[in-house]
Amino acid sequence: MTHPAILKTENICKYYSLGKEKIPVLHNISLSVEKGSYAAIMGQSGAGKSTLLNILGCLDKASSGQYYINNTDVSRLTDAKLAKIRNEEIGFVFQNFNLLPKLTVAANIELPLIYANVKRKERKVRVESVMQKLGIYERRHHKPNEISGGQKQRVAIARALVKNPALLLADEPTGNLDSHTTEEILALFQKLNDEGNTIVMITHEHDVAARAKKIIRLVDGSIVNN
């Protein structure tokens, strides 16, 4: 059975202006990721992964081309509407975790719900549920500097999931982890995908990309063998 596309790009190009010169970074990127899929966008440093990630995450706009999330063309939306899509549809997981050091595990996870004006009672239920799900409930009162790297990444994943996003966008999520912890986090992503979460992971590592159902290879700003 074919599932609808959560995200779809059509001929996305990106260039940066340096004086009168235009520096091309992405060339005619056309890809689609179906609901419930697990895709890896793989490429070496300088391939354009970060630029593509920023566009897919609605953190930046393409120079040309179309980008659809759940059939909504986000290519031409205002910054305010892009922020709304970003907050409601996309959960981000970063290599460096991006946790606030002075907040507890629970408070870090709760933050997106506060921004989304979710009522306090519902916030508490959702935060506790996702902490139980990811095996970090016992660490709920700890600060980020009191937990391991693997636990920090679980907190970051929980923070992304607590909004129930349409898409989980992970940027080199195992880049700062040892091999044993990397295996644990990749197994967690597999479990989340098995439960129906749509995942797009950016990586330069072949063994990490191999865990995905679909690999999109990026070379010098172009997709190859997709």
Residue 175 confidence (pLDDT) = 86
The string of pLDDT tens digits covering residues 184-224 is 999 999 999 999 999 999 999 999 999 999 999 999 999 99
Closest CA to 74 of 56, 49, 51: 56
Burial of 156 (0-12, 13-18, 19+ CB in 10 A): buried
Q: 30-52 burial string, b = 16+ CB within 10 Å, else e? A: ebbbbbbbbbbbbbeeebbbbbb
Q: What is the mean pLDDT of the chain?
A: 92
Distance (Å, rounded) from C-alpha 131 to C-alpha 138?
Answer: 8
The string of pLDDT tens digits covering residues 20-58 is 898 999 999 999 999 999 999 999 888 899 899 999 999
Closest CA to 77 of 17, 68, 105, 49: 68
Q: Considering the entire predicted model, what is its pTM?
A: 0.90
Q: Please tell me the total number of residues recorded for the chain in this structure.
A: 226
Would you identify the CATH topology of the domain 5-224?
Rossmann fold (3.40.50)
Task: Say yes or no to pLDDT of 226 above 70.
Answer: no
Closest CA to 193 of 68, 1, 33: 33
Task: Say yes or no to pLDDT of 117 above 60.
Answer: yes
**Which residue type, as a one-letter code, is found at position 84?**
K
Q: How are beta strands 5-18 and 64-69 bridged, if at all?
A: antiparallel
